[in-house]
Amino acid sequence: MAPLITLISGCSTGIGMELAVRLAKDPNSKYLVYATMRNLGKKDALTEAAGDNLDKTLFIRQLDVTIDDQVKSIYDFIMEKHGRIDVLVNNAGYGFFGPLETMSMEKAKIMFETNYFGTVRLIKGALPAMKKQKSGSIVNISSIVGHLGIPFMDMYNASKFAMEGLTESLRPQLKEFGIGISTVQPGPVTTKFGENMMAISDFDDNSVSEDTKKQFLEFRKVISNPDIFSPQTAEPVIDVIVKAIEAEKPRLRYPTSQNVGDWLAKRYVKEDVTGTEGWF
């Protein structure tokens, strides 16, 4: 069988990188992977992890999901070379943790450009070919926060809620064309995500009041408790992503652990589980 032509965003590190390598090393050579990243200066780790598969089943290409021309170029290249696209994984994304008033509008917009509109751009690019083929699999890496509002992650929450809405709305339309679309919803994963999120968050901004600082610091203690959201390594998350890609009848949503599933279930039983009472 011809390999599944696969495009993954955000493969310089973390979940994207591990997923790209897992698929490229499939024992039955089921996948031919375009592992993309916005900064090719960061490709060494992926090059090393890909090993002998580099330029055989795994190809590294540049793609910043916020840039229309780069999205067009990657699809032009794939269509010219293969004439099809079978699997799209929208993985590129990042978070922000802090009081909303400390996030500039510029940062808020760039976050949506990446986490949400980046996903929109890549789906729009894949749909003409997938609809023509009458097949395809789209997996959007959302989060537990795509369904559960967690304090001080307001804009990140909103970007993942938007991704969930987009996925849910497209799903019945795409099903008619034999295309599956799902979200995968991890809780905390031990990648560089948390570190990167703290690096761009401006908590020390003097514009917040003492009361807000106190509330934020209290919440940070609560949310850091591993008993609340037990962190996972990337490996079980990759297992779930592969399950979503390969499912004959993919589900709409895939929480990546029992812990995440339990939280999302609670969300529907007790709507104010995310309210002040539940957290502070």
- Site for ligand NAP, rule CB under 6 A: 9-10, 12-16, 37-39, 42, 64-66, 91-94, 114, 118, 141, 143, 186, 188-189, 191-193, 196
Measured distance CA(86)–CA(50) in Å, rounded: 21
Q: Given the complex with ligand NAP, which of 14 and 180 has the nearer CB atom?
A: 14
Residue nearest ligand NAP, Cβ-based: 14
Catalytic residue from among 94, 156, 254, 268: 156
CB of 9 to ligand NAP, least distance (A): 5
CB of 189 to ligand NAP, least distance (A): 4
Asked about 254 being catalytic, the answer comes back as no
Q: Given the complex with ligand NAP, which of 65 and 127 has the nearer CB atom?
A: 65
CB of 210 to ligand NAP, least distance (A): 30
Q: Given the complex with ligand NAP, which of 66 and 73 has the nearer CB atom?
A: 66
**Strand segments (E) across the chain:** 4-8, 31-37, 58-62, 87-90, 136-141, 179-185, 253-255
Among 129, 58, 122, 68, which Cα is nearest to 92's? 122
Q: Given the complex with ligand NAP, which of 195 and 211 has the nearer CB atom?
A: 195
CB of 219 to ligand NAP, least distance (A): 17
What is the DSSP secondary-structure string of 148-217?
S--TT-HHHHHHHHHHHHHHHHHHHHHHTTTEEEEEEE---BSSSHHHHHHHH--TT-TTS-HHHHHHHH
Among 16, 175, 6, which Cα is nearest to 86's? 6
Active site (catalytic) residues: 156
